[in-house]
Structures are given as C-alpha cells and as structure tokens.
Structure 1
C-alpha cells in the first residue's frame, strides 16, 4: 500500500458502507487464515462460542467456524456488511456494533479481529485490549492482525481510500502483558498468510 490522499480515519466502517458489495466480490476466496483458525479450533472446548469482530460479510472466517460446527457471533459496524452477512448465513447471529463500544454480558472462548482491528486509529487501539479481555473466558484465545511499526497507511479499495493504523511491536507486547495475555504466536509478514502480521494470545487472568 502507498500513501494516498486522506479520507475517513475515525470510522472506517463508513467506507465499507460504500464498498461492501465490491469488497465481498473481490476479497480473496481462499482461507489463507486456516492454519491459525485450525489451531484455535483445536484449543476450543466443546460447545465453544467465538466472537468475530469486524466479521464483514462472514466470508471466509466466520464461514470457516460454521463449517467446523463452531457457534459464532459476528459483529461489524458497517450496515452493508452486516446485511450481506445475514444473507450469506441466515441461521447465524450478527450484531451491528462498533467494536470500540462493545459491552456484552456474554464471554467467549475465542475472539477474532482479523484485518479489522487495524482499521482503528492508533489512539483507539490500546483500549481494545481491555475490551478483548472483558469478553474472553479464562484461557480464551485472541487472534488479531496488526502492522509492525507505529504509523498510518492508506490503501485504495473499490475506488475509496481505506485507513489502516498500527502501534509498534513492543507496544502490542506491553498491552497484551498488562491485560494478562500470554503470547502464543507472533508471526511477522507470514508468507503463507498473505504477508499478514499475526498475533495469537491466550487470556491468563491472575
């Protein structure tokens, strides 16, 4: 991605309200995340429930859990993406909500924030670790993607500029530790996963 003219920075979901259908049609079809998803599925207890934050239209991640008979709640702040997700998976529960405002009573066995968390401004990212913690059961798994350096990047998608932000690796490590997460895996520019920077951590309340 290259630096571009600035657009919507605070609420990127508004851009997905414009490009949702284009994004759903043009997103890669293969589940490049499946190695990580399989690892999570192996760690899940029976009758587990997963929270997919920034679920989009539900493909391919939410779909992958459904196909493995795992109960999933999909959350997205984009009305268009939630509408598409409900069409794709009419028997699955979805919630239209900004992840920064999430206050559910229910706790989950895993939280996935794949290519969604990094749409938040850097200043909004630290508090998300409190939200992750509050919505996970003890020993629950957190999977998210990030950048490796503090900064902002804009990328063109469907004719619209999409904002991405990141803290640096040390900041993420500190946030995870201070919120009682143990890092299970951290892979930078995973070549088997589209070059994603992947974090997998386990909530270990003291």
Structure 2
C-alpha cells in the first residue's frame, strides 16, 4: 500500500510547512559544520541553501555572519515563510532536481533535504552540485547509512526519506571529483545525522 508522497516530497511541506516551522528544533545543531564551511572562504562568499525551508536555522546562521545566501526550496509554503522571515534575502521556488541557475557558489548545503529525493534521483544530483560549485567549493549534505526507504510522521503527514549505501555515496563523490573532508555517521551532536562534507576539486 502506498504510504504517501514519494516522488515530490515538497508537496507534503506545502501542507505541513507552518507546523514544521513551529516545531523544528530551535538549536543550530549543524553549527560545527557551518563554522567549518566559513573557515574555507572569505567574507564575500556565496552560499546556496538547497531545500532551505523557512530559512531557520541554517540560512539564518549565514545571514547573521554577513554571508550572501540564496535559498532554494520546491515548497511554495516554505518559500513564503522564508520570505517573511528574511525579506531582504534572495529566495527561489525550484525543485533541486531541475536546478540550472547559471551561477556558481562557494558552498552548497542540502541539510535534511537531499534525503527526501527518491534513491533513483539522487545520483544525478552530484553533477548538478558540481555545476553550481566553484573550484574548491564545499558540499554539505545529510543521508542515510544504507540503501533503503524510511517513512516518518510529521504534522500528521507521512514524510518519505531515501538513501543510497555509504559506498555508493563515496563512489559518486569520487567520480564527480569531490574529496571527502568529513563523514560522520549518526553524529550524536547533530541528532544522529549522517553527515557528508566534501570539496569539489576538478582535475
């Protein structure tokens, strides 16, 4: 039996966006990784928050550091909330799988957003990532640890998550000219997240 929206999870966020914004954890548990990104770049760096949601806490963190951030999300409701929260920041309503911005960034962050894509859609994203990164740019994303699907209730809706196996992510990163800087499995300081930080090093 079909559990819910599998192909376009952003449609679920159109239903639960306000609930999600009100109930998301307030602490920026990602801060250690975000600080790492800032260490790599000058103050005029450009960062792409892919699956930015309402902008909190990741996009907000970079704005507070004076960094230029573009927020992209496929959910209309989440983008509306983000624009209310950060009226002077640039946002774009876009499915990350169709991303073709014609600009490059110092870093791309797909924190707790990339893993909403079906497993079959995930490999193609690494070419999209590198096309939007400057040389030596940083990619930060979260995933599962083994190939499979997981569903979880949020705001009364069943949210879909998918993952490839760790070895598959390692192979995709390598074939797309990324060097893994950090890989933390089930990071206890990040709510058990499986975190990847990689640097784009075109040869």
Give 1:35-74 correspondences, 5 Å limit: 35-74=32-71
Unaligned runs of 5+ in 2: none
Which residue is equivalent to 1:137? 134
Unaligned runs of 5+ in 1: none
Task: Report runs of 4+ in structure 1 exceeding 6 Å deviation.
Answer: none
TM-score (norm 2): 0.99
Give 1:187-198 correspondences, 5 Å limit: 187-198=184-195
CA–CA separation in structure 2 for the residues paired with 1:173 and 1:96: 30
Do 2:43 and 2:66's aligned partners in 1 also have CA atoms closer than 8 Å? no
Shift of 1:46: 3.3
Do 2:117 and 2:162's aligned partners in 1 also have CA atoms closer than 8 Å? yes
Paired residue secondary structure (2:124): helix
Root-mean-square deviation over aligned CA pairs: 0.9
Shift of 1:182: 0.2
CA–CA separation in structure 1 for the residues paired with 2:64 and 2:121: 33
CA–CA separation in structure 2 for the residues paired with 1:126 and 1:68: 32
Which residue is equivalent to 1:160? 157
CA–CA separation in structure 2 for the residues paired with 1:101 and 1:195: 29
Paired residue secondary structure (1:90): coil
Which residue is equivalent to 2:5? 8
Paired residue secondary structure (1:25): helix
Match of 2:178 among 177, 181, 203: 181
User: How many residues are paired up?
Assistant: 203
Map Cα deviations across residues 150-198 of structure 1 (whole Å, 9 max, x no partner): 0000000000000000000000000000000000000000001100000
Which residue is equivalent to 2:196? 199
Establish whether residue 146 from structure 1 lines up as the match of residue 143 from structure 2.
yes
TM-score (norm 1): 0.97
Paired residue secondary structure (2:102): coil
